[in-house]
Amino acid sequence: MKKLFCILLCTLMLAFTGCGKDLPALETIGVDNFETVETEFAGCTRDDLVKAWGDPAVSLADGTFGDIWELEGELETLLNVYYNTDGTYNSSLISYQLAYTGTVTEITEKASEEAALYTITAELDDGSTVVLDTMPTTVYTGAEELAVGNRVNFVCNTMTGSKYVWVQSAEVIG
């Protein structure tokens, strides 16, 4: 009887302790350390993450599929966390925005089966070069003017693990 009681007590303790990990503080999670801290989320549930970090900025389908928390830092960064159907952690990534100002040096149309419609190469004001991909939802101010030689303010987004930097919007400034 004592053995049964001890097993039952241990089971209840495990059930109410969550993932049993000290999760990193939300403000310490960033692009530079993401792969390291992401491993600490394994075994956690949505409730564990909400308890550690507070309510998310956005819940996808009422938190059933995922949540998004805003992170601190130089860039506008978001931590996207996705769950299994039982509410346990599945995967996560960081998405962030970048802003560029530069001169368009090349626009290449991509084949229809590609994810991006165009690839835009621009020389930035600091002398570096950036290669950006566009999507059908990209919003342009003066889109009909977007051509090689235009100076453009780009707002882009990307995510950890992606080789693409997607143009979110582009404003032709000269």
SS (H, E, C) 87-141: CEEEEEEEEEEEEEEEEEEEEEECCCCCCCCEEEEEEECCCCEEEEECCCCCEEE
Confidence of residue 50 (pLDDT cuts 50, 70, 90): very high
147 by DSSP, 3-state: which? coil
CATH class of segment(s) 2-95: alpha beta
Angle at 57 between CA 100 and CA 53, to 5 degrees: 110
Q: Are the beta carbons of 41 and 52 closer than 8 angstroms?
A: no
Mean of pLDDT values over 81-85? 92
* DSSP conformation letters of 37-100: HHGGGTT-BHHHHHHHH-S-SEEETTTTSEEEEEE-SSS-EEEEEEE-TTSBEEEEEEEEEEEE
What's the rounded mean pLDDT across residues 132-145?
67
Instruction: Give the rounded distance of the alpha carbon of 49 from its chain centre.
Output: 17
| CATH homologous superfamily of 97-172 | Copper binding periplasmic protein CusF (2.40.50.320)
Predicted TM-score (pTM) of this structure:
0.69
Average of per-residue pLDDT across 54-74: 84
Which residue is associated with the tokens 């939300």? 26
**Percent of the chain topping pLDDT 90:** 40
What residue ranges do the domains of the chain occupy? Answer: 2-95, 97-172
* pLDDT of 164 over the 90 cut: no
